[in-house]
Structure 1
Amino acid sequence: MTTSALSAPPLHSSAHDDNVPNGEDQAQRAAELAALHRAADAGEEAAAWVRQLAGRQGEEEHGRLLERVAEAIVKASSREIIPGSDGLLTEELRYTLAADVVLGASHTTGTLPELHPGERMPLIAVCSIAATLPSCVLGDLVREVEVLAAEMEAATDAGRAAELPAAG
């Protein structure tokens, strides 16, 4: 049986070796990894909701735009949160996640996307939060990502709740 490179002990060990992670470093890395997973999960859930919005669009252009937004949410809430990076999104992702997503392709269709009352604000919130997540690497990554992931989850829940018919 072989051990994976990740679980193998270091080849040499010294109390003075700065490259050997201590318990505190390992705990910090574990906390960062957990926060990054939570952000990715929140992004996946938000993207699934946005894909539902895309699926019910009568105008094909609105649907395509919302599909791109969903993909951008996934990227910004996972692959773009890179510890040690400058925390900036690519221009394409910034543009795709801009708050004017709620206007959809209205410049070409002359119509707005078909959104239920109460869905526009959660859509703006989800996009704004996704666009902000990568910048957390410049501050307290764990705390900031945890807060923003929780807010993304709440915005997604609010968007989904807006779809439900009012009880009467």
Structure 2
Amino acid sequence: MRELAGRQGEEEHGRLLERVAEAIVQASSREIIPGSDGLLTEELRYTLAADGLLGASHTTGTLPELHPGERMPLIAVCAIAAAFPACVLGDLPRELEVLAAELEAATDAGRTAEAPAAG
């Protein structure tokens, strides 16, 4: 995610993708608090649901620059991260293992997406 943020031509897109990267870290670690209900804050939910895909399109008029094949893994990583807290707090270790494996697979898929060939 941070790699995607770093290559954005629009600074605003880069900032929002950095925020998505931090939200993924929060959702998969710091938001997992024993005794809580496992729900993400409204801000984290929005960041994971929209900011990565839409970036700052509301102000720039463009979408973040993504290579073909990167958008779907990005969607998957955000959705999986959003599911972590409820899974951990629901004491669902098998499901957590599945989520962790899928998170890794989605991240790998995004990394292997290639830039369009120069033309």
TM over 0.5: yes
Question: Matches of 1:101 and 1:157 in 2, distance apart?
Answer: 17
Q: For residue 58 of structure 1, what is the aligned residue in structure 2?
A: 9
* Greater share of residues in helix: 2
Question: Matches of 2:95 and 2:50 in 1, distance apart?
Answer: 21
Q: For residue 67 of structure 1, what is the aligned residue in structure 2?
A: 18
Structure 1 or 2, whichever has the larger Rg, is 1
Shift of 1:62: 0.3
Q: For residue 77 of structure 1, what is the aligned residue in structure 2?
A: 28
Question: Matches of 2:50 and 2:72 in 1, distance apart?
Answer: 9
Compared CA separation, residues 146 and 164, structure 1 to 2 (3 A): farther
Compared CA separation, residues 84 and 137, structure 1 to 2 (3 A): farther
Residue 131 of structure 1: which of 77, 82, 95 is its match?
82
Compared CA separation, residues 74 and 100, structure 1 to 2 (3 A): closer
2:67–2:115 Cα contact (<8 Å) kept? no
Deviation digits for residues 69-110 of structure 1 (CA, Å, limit 9, x no counterpart): 000000101111223321100111111100452121111001
Give the stretch that moved more between structures: 131-140 or 59-68. 131-140
Deviation digits for residues 102-154 of structure 1 (CA, Å, limit 9, x no counterpart): 12111100111110000000001000110111011353431121110110000
Unaligned stretches of 5+ residues in structure 2: none
SS in 2 for 1:84: coil
1:2-151, aligned counterparts within 5 Å? 50-99=1-50, 101-151=52-102
* TM-score calculated relative to the size of structure 1: 0.65
1:81–1:136 Cα contact (<8 Å) kept? no
Q: Runs (4+) of structure 1 moved beyond 4 Å?
A: none
Question: Matches of 2:88 and 2:106 in 1, distance apart?
Answer: 22
Unaligned stretches of 5+ residues in structure 1: 1-49
Q: How many residues align?
A: 117
Q: Alpha carbon RMSD of aligned pairs, Å?
A: 1.7
* TM-score calculated relative to the size of structure 2: 0.90
Question: Matches of 2:62 and 2:107 in 1, distance apart?
Answer: 24
